[in-house]
Amino acid sequence: GLFSETISSVPQAALEARAFLAALMLDATGGKGAKALAALDLLDQALAQTPAAWELRVQRGLVRARLGYASAARRDLDWAEAAFPQVGQTWFYRALALSAGERPVSEVLEALQGARNYGYKAWREANWEPEDYPELTRIRGEPGVAEFLELARR
């Protein structure tokens, strides 16, 4: 499919780019399963070569959350947040990891608020849907969540 074709079109020597693209496509499609495992493998390889690659660490946090590895996802996001504490994307992925790890809704909302405070803008895109983030399924019907997401989209 398009996922495999796009990743395979990036030269093998550009491991960081392949890993980043794989994770980005996973984020955009809400993918799980084999695609997520393939992205995680690429991210692990790239981070073994370049452990300080902040953007790869953030993306690995998303992929780990998507796979249900909530504790590992939070470790990656803690590292990324320590390096750059005011990046909305890190906070959004933290919210996904917290929700996937069945943390209290209040903690998830706090991370979502951090994402909004620090400029996460993807949810303002016309095609952004919470349904694309399976990690949020558990909390969608909880008090305050729908209202927050509606507010954040403005």
Q: Identify the pLDDT of residue 6.
A: 47
In angstroms, the CA 74 to CA 50 distance is: 19
Q: Which two tokens stand for residue 37?
A: 């495992």
How far, in whole angstroms, is CA 113 from its chain's centroid?
16
Q: Identify the pLDDT of residue 78.
A: 93
* Contact (CB, 8 A) for 109 and 116: no
In angstroms, the CA 118 to CA 93 distance is: 13
pLDDT digits (tens, 9 = 90+) for 35-57: 888 888 888 998 998 888 888 99
pLDDT in tens, the chain (154 residues): 544 554 455 455 577 777 877 777 777 666 677 888 888 888 899 899 888 888 899 989 988 988 888 899 999 999 999 988 899 989 998 998 999 888 999 999 999 999 989 988 887 777 777 777 888 888 888 888 888 878 777 7
